[in-house]
Structure 1
Amino acid sequence: MMATADSPFSSMLDRYAPLVALADANDSPILILASNGEELYANAAYRSINVPHDQQRSIVFENDEIKVARVFLPKDPGRIAAEIMLEIAENLPIMVWLRDFETNEVLFINRAYEKIWGRSRESLYKEPDSFIDAILPEDRRYLDQVRKKHGEGVPTSARYRIRRPDGDIRWISARSAPVFDADGKQYRRAGIAEDVTEQTLLQSRTADIQRLESLGRLAGGVAHDFNNLLTAVIGYVEMALEKLPKEADARAYLENVLTASDRATALIKQMLAYARRQPIRYESIDLNETIRRAEPLLRGALGKNIELDTNLHPSLQNIRADESQIQQVLLNLASNSRDAMPNGGRVTIETKPFEVASTTLIGFHELRPGSYALLTFSDNGPGMSQDNLRRATEPFFTTKEPGIGTGLGLSTCEGILLQSGGVLDIETEPGQGARVLTYWKSYQESID
């Protein structure tokens, strides 16, 4: 008599499980202790059969009438070790898998696959290569080359990106190795895969910071030397203008040279600000009052078709900064918003106190513990993509038409903030506008 999943044995198993005692001979009375506390005895001859796919359960019969249910048989050490390994594999945060090399059948995949890929394990058991559907098309060719090496019976490793069903893109680091039989033939393939998105982004940020710092040092050195040359040019032009009569035709040319030199001087100041080598006169600044004084300039920079709103916190601490640099930051941000919203829009400037209890990573930089004033400059323009956001503060990077922007606006703002002991961060999504958050260190905190 065989036991099946839908037979009366199943309900009996559930009713009297688990049982904790079993006689070791089929002609001796046995005492069964059921989970509900009921005591069952079997005095007649009985026999045991195994329930399919479960070697731990046995059924006892008396005169073909079911008398008892599930029992636990002794486990051998090998089975215990296998169960421990299975439990470990199921609870690892990285994906663990095992495939049949000849048939490509997935023999095992742990639950981490569902968390990382966002897909069910059952889908992978049914379609062993369905995981490839999530891999970004531009990474599949590379992964195909890696998988071809499986036939050589060598370990492989790969890094690629997947797109989860929710649209989130994740970086994956995968490794696999062959499993050989007694004859040295590869008959299975085992591997692991790990979500390394956070580590990848951190490495990218570190590389960006190092690259931008090197570029800043270079820009600062060039700007400093060029400023010395420009000072001489301006000086000689002014001397020439003094000697020329007012009606001389050459005056117009020299005055154009002076105008161009003034623009070059402003550009150099931005480069020096980015490189944090610009002379600064720090003092205690009322940020709210500085914004109020700058409002007429900002409205002029934004133009008539862009509205400007302010929401200034009444209890804001004074900050440690150079007022001219605060105005430069505001004007640079206003210029960006104006160019992003040629058909009009709205800009909002907000301030509020901000406390940092422990060192916090803001953007690419650390914000140290202390008191800050947070100035947020936001617009309802088109926003920017994540790729452009990552490069937004990179010097000379711009999405504007040639001749419109220098690509130094945001990098200058960031340099000013860093030199003042603060940081700059940007929050944006395509079609959702942009928010530039500037953290200014409080004056009292700087003294302390």
Structure 2
Amino acid sequence: MNYSSRRSGLILGFLKSKNYRLKAIKLTAVFAATSLLVSHSSSPVVAALEDSPKTIIDEVWQIVNSEFVDREFNHIDWKIKRQELLRAEYTDQKTAYKAIRRSLKDLGDPYTRFLAPEEYEELTSQTSGELSGIGIRLGIDQKTSKLIVVEPIPNSPASEAGLKAGDHIVSVNGKSTKLMTLEQASAEIKGEVGTEVILEISRSEQPAFDVTIARAQIELPSVSYTLNQEQDSKVGYIKLDEFSSHAAEQMQKAIQELSAKQASGFILDLRGNPGGLLFSSVEIARMWMEKGAIVSTIDRKGGNQEFSANGKALTNLPLVVLVDGYSASASEILAGALKENHRAKVVGSRTYGKGTVQSVHALSDGSGLAVTIARYYPPSGMDINQKGIAPDIKVDLSREEQTTLSVNPDLIGTKADRQYARAITILKNEFISKTGSDFSAPLTTR
């Protein structure tokens, strides 16, 4: 789903997640988006809407009034709330933003939230799976505290310019990065498509040199994958970081390429995945499931929308799904569907427990609003909100193990990763029980 003028995005919410990777900053894009059209009532306070802050306040009120999943508004008189908000005086947009946040908090739903322009920009960049920048992931070297390139995104301007993982960025457009945070460095590097940025790069045993790179629109990778040799078997390991608008097509490519390389089974890693687009999770579930229900959503009027497999699975090879306490929303839809349809074994820790769907709206001043519009349920109809999904096989990592994987992300998806190691054992057992043959002999794929 691409964001465009007068459109809202249906998402399952991005949570701030604790990922087992070096902290990376996505150089966010600027999206041209305007508010949904809203109708104003004939209230006496309409005249006050000529004041710009009050315009935003009323836009928010109208959207919540027409879409919020709880028709009782958490037992608040929402119409009186509008009168109170519009009678107040606001010195600037920021004071209006504070009033909006206070009123939304009264709804008792942490996922219905106001997004300042920079927050809205970041969320739309995440869900679109695109950015405007040069295509690098940034990190801080723990030993030297220097700003480094964690990795250049394949086929990006940074990659084409020859930047490499581990490169130290000394300065950006002549500004030293010595005291910059990751956020500050990201802000300096990002910019409009077609403009240029000059990076001073230091590489081991080489003099520092300048690189001039033109910014471009870049598709972010949500999926990474490898074919791992495990004894005499080949295992397709797929890591899905988030459910962006490009995640499904990237997942399809991963499954097809790993199948062509004679993978005997798959491990799908959803650990740390905070969620994303509803339809992305449904599309990806259909790639693994030949039949069965995936998810159902119920809106404020009791309307029930159901999603099921469509008979177009890409593979029937054995599958294990890895989850943890930071696997949320869209991750839980996918894990729940695969588990309850007995398509995969789910391994790890109980998931986060977020069972609601949000619609994201752009407002007229560049800010945004995420409003909860429905609740979702896995095929069993179980309410997972604040409960999560229990794995088939519980394997909790100790704090020491989590720290080790965080400090050494290259160990994720290896035998040093205990949840992954357990998944390998399960794959072998699943394959033998289903086929009566050795794990190294692949099943037929579609």
With the shorter chain as reference, the TM-score category is under 0.3
* Greater relative contact order structure (CA < 8 Å, 6+ sep): 2
Structure number having the greater helix percentage? 1
Q: TM-score, normalised by structure 2?
A: 0.23
Larger radius of gyration between Structure 1 and Structure 2: 1
What TM-score, normalized to structure 1? 0.23
